[in-house]
């Protein structure tokens, strides 16, 4: 039996993690956390009988407590509740399917308690990779990538740990606006941006994919997971999302992982690593039916978020936190229809410029990262008149 806890159990990654658990039958769900979707959380409690749950929203947590009083599941709220879920004693692995920087503290707490991390929450590594990776090594825990590209790279590197790599080829679908000019991007709407061509995901990561900021976050995520410089990572547009990423070795050999776009595969791989198991209900890849795969270079001019990510990754320190924090504020504002699509990248650029003027922190602690998140949010809200 595998014992896991899930942060973000009501979201895209969370529900697919529970699908994998349901299909396999030998994964015990010890703890679950969500922000406020108590209707779905109650269903999950009644099906999986976790010991502990957290609802971040305090009023909703109180409501759920009454609803599930008959179940024996303990209900917590807020940040303390997230830590309870992340450190639930019986769990061996924490799946971080929560979105945003809110995932940093519970992930650190889980590692300190010796839990392996099945990591989907890329924002945590972008801001705190310099803390997470050495801490995990000291505690002897595994950081198992769930993000599809990073799972692919991780799989390509198996058995090749001692061979130096020349570069990582990080693939990108290009999002719904692949091929668009800046002029065309001026007119796109929220609904257009939410129409991802290949993956069905939560709103925040879907907007990130459309701006290519997702690839920027993944660039820095890969830098930490695989201990490479960002300039050893090349972004490659692969519109079908079939080739999930690749590694080029010193002798010129390129190894890639291919599959249908289905997150259950990387989730299951992380949960059973190093074992491969049949994936229930998955569509098999039929290359002959597919006929061809397309590749192209990314358009840095149309999607400046990617260029900003390389810059943040090269300078490091506190700049990736500002890159990420500004993006979180901007995406929220875009989803609330308070700023236009092109203003997302402007927000990030402005916040980074401002931070560089003030001066970067070399190796920010978690408290510095969270303080920077607050100051970046306040600065952007004032500058862009966001309520
Ligand atoms: N979806 C995908 O295919 C992929 C996602 N990722 C990454 O995985 C993470 C999750 O993405 P995704 O599943 O799409 O996101 P969703 O928006 O679908 O789900 C987010 C989950 O996090 C919960 N949540 C949000 N804020 C809080 C909070 N303050 N406290 C507790 N729970 C909270 C939500 O709860 P509630 O429902 O109650 O609001 C929900 O369960 C992101 O970092 C994303 O970049 C990476 C690769 C692929
Ligand atoms: C499924 C997954 O891993 C997403 O992060 C995906 O990468 C988004 O697609 P883009 O390549 O469009 O960013
Ligand atoms: Mn990805």
Confidence check on the interface: ipTM exceeds 0.90, yes or no: yes
* Residue 309, domain member (yes or no): no
Mean pLDDT of 346-367: 97
| pLDDT of 298 above 80 | yes
Instruction: Give yes or no: residues 255 and 351 share one domain.
Output: no
Ligand nearest to the CA of 82: 1
Instruction: Give yes or no: residues 280 and 334 share one domain.
Output: no
Instruction: Give yes or no: residues 159 and 285 share one domain.
Output: yes
Residue 211 Cα to ligand 2 midpoint, Å, equals: 11
Instruction: Give yes or no: residues 137 and 160 share one domain.
Output: no
Q: Label residue 280 by pLDDT band (50, 70, 90).
A: confident
Q: Is the CB of 148 under 6 A from ligand 2?
A: yes
CATH number at residue 379: 1.10.1740.10
Q: Label residue 161 by pLDDT band (50, 70, 90).
A: confident
* Residue 71, domain member (yes or no): yes
Instruction: Give yes or no: residues 10 and 57 share one domain.
Output: yes
Ligand 1 atom with least separation from CA of 200: 3
Q: Which residue's alpha carbon is nearest to atom 15 within ligand 1?
A: 202
Higher pLDDT, 372 or 161: 372
* Residue 95, domain member (yes or no): yes
Q: Is the CB of 13 under 6 A from ligand 1?
A: yes
Instruction: Give yes or no: residues 37 and 116 share one domain.
Output: yes
Structural domain containing residue 161: 150-290
How much of the chain exceeds pLDDT 70, in percent?
A: 100
Return d(Cα 71, Cα 157) in angstroms, integer.
Answer: 44
Last residue of a domain, one of 255, 290, 325: 290
| pLDDT of 206 above 90 | yes
Mean pLDDT of 206-220: 98
Instruction: Give yes or no: residues 88 and 13 share one domain.
Output: yes
* Residue 300, domain member (yes or no): no
Q: pLDDT digit string (tens) for 217-268?
A: 999 999 999 999 999 999 999 999 999 999 999 999 999 999 999 999 999 9
Q: Mean pLDDT in the chain?
A: 97
Instruction: Give yes or no: residues 253 and 167 share one domain.
Output: yes
Residue 201 Cα to ligand 2 midpoint, Å, equals: 9
| pLDDT of 211 above 90 | yes
Instruction: Give yes or no: residues 86 and 109 share one domain.
Output: yes
* Residue 296, domain member (yes or no): no
Q: Which residue's alpha carbon is nearest to atom 1 within ligand 2?
A: 148
Q: pLDDT digit string (tens) for 72-119?
A: 999 999 999 999 999 999 999 999 999 999 999 999 999 999 999 999
Domain count, the chain: 3
The pLDDT, as a whole number, for residue 190 is 98
Q: Is the CB of 209 under 6 A from ligand 1?
A: no
Residue 255 Cα to ligand 2 midpoint, Å, equals: 19
Mean pLDDT of 378-383: 98
The pLDDT, as a whole number, for residue 162 is 77
Q: Which residue's alpha carbon is nearest to atom 14 within ligand 1?
A: 202
Q: pLDDT digit string (tens) for 31-84?
A: 999 999 999 999 999 999 999 999 999 999 999 999 999 999 999 999 999 999
Sign of CA dihedral 276, 278, 284, 287: positive
| 274 cis-preceded (ω within 30 degrees of 0) | yes
Ligand 2 atom with least separation from CA of 218: 5
The pLDDT, as a whole number, for residue 24 is 97
Q: pLDDT digit string (tens) for 321-340?
A: 999 999 999 999 999 999 99
Instruction: Give yes or no: residues 121 and 190 share one domain.
Output: no
* Residue 233, domain member (yes or no): yes
The pLDDT, as a whole number, for residue 164 is 85
| pLDDT of 351 above 90 | yes
Instruction: Give yes or no: residues 216 and 327 share one domain.
Output: no
Q: Is the CB of 209 under 6 A from ligand 2?
A: yes
Instruction: Give yes or no: residues 235 and 135 share one domain.
Output: no
């Amino acid at each position: 039996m595998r014992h896991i806890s899930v942060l973000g159990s009501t979201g895209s990654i969370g529900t697919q993690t529970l699908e994998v658990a349901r299909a396999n039958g030998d994964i015990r769900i010890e703890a679950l956390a969500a922000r406020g979707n108590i209707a779905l959380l109650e269903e999950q409690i009644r099906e999986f009988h976790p010991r502990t749950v957290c609802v971040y929203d305090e009023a909703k947590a109180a409501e759920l407590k009454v609803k599930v009083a008959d179940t024996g599941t303990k209900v917590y709220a807020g940040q303390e509740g997230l830590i309870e879920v992340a450190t639930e004693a019986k769990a061996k692995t924490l799946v971080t399917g929560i979105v945003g920087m809110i995932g940093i503290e519970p992930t650190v707490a889980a590692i300190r308690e010796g839990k392996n991390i099945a990591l989907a929450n890329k924002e945590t590594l972008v801001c705190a990779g310099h803390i997470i990776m050495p801490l995990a090594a000291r505690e002897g825990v595994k950081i198992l990538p769930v993000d599809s590209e990073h799972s692919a790279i991780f799989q390509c590197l198996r058995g090749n740990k001692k061979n130096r790599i020349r570069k990582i080829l990080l693939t990108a679908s290009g999002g719904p606006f692949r091929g668009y000019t800046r002029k065309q991007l001026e007119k796109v709407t929220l609904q257009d941006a939410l129409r991802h061509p290949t993956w069905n995901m939560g709103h925040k990561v879907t907007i990130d994919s459309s701006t290519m900021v997702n690839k920027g976050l993944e660039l820095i995520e890969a830098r930490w997971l695989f201990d490479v410089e960002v300039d050893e990572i090349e972004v490659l547009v692969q519109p079908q999302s079939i080739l999930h990423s690749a590694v080029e070795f010193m002798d010129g050999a390129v190894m890639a992982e291919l599959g249908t776009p289905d997150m259950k595969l990387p989730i299951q791989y992380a949960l059973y690593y190093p074992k491969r198991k049949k994936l229930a209900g998955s569509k098999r890849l039929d290359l002959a039916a597919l006929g061809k795969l397309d590749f192209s270079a990314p358009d840095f001019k149309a999607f400046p978020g990617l260029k900003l990510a390389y810059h943040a990754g090269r300078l490091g320190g506190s700049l990736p936190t500002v890159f990420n924090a500004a993006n979180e504020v901007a995406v929220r504002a875009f989803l609330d229809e308070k700023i236009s699509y092109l203003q997302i990248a402007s927000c990030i650029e402005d916040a980074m410029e401002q931070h560089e003027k003030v001066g970067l922190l070399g190796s920010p602690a978690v408290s510095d990262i969270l303080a920077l998140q607050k100051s970046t949010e306040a600065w952007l809200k004032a500058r862009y008149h966001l309520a």
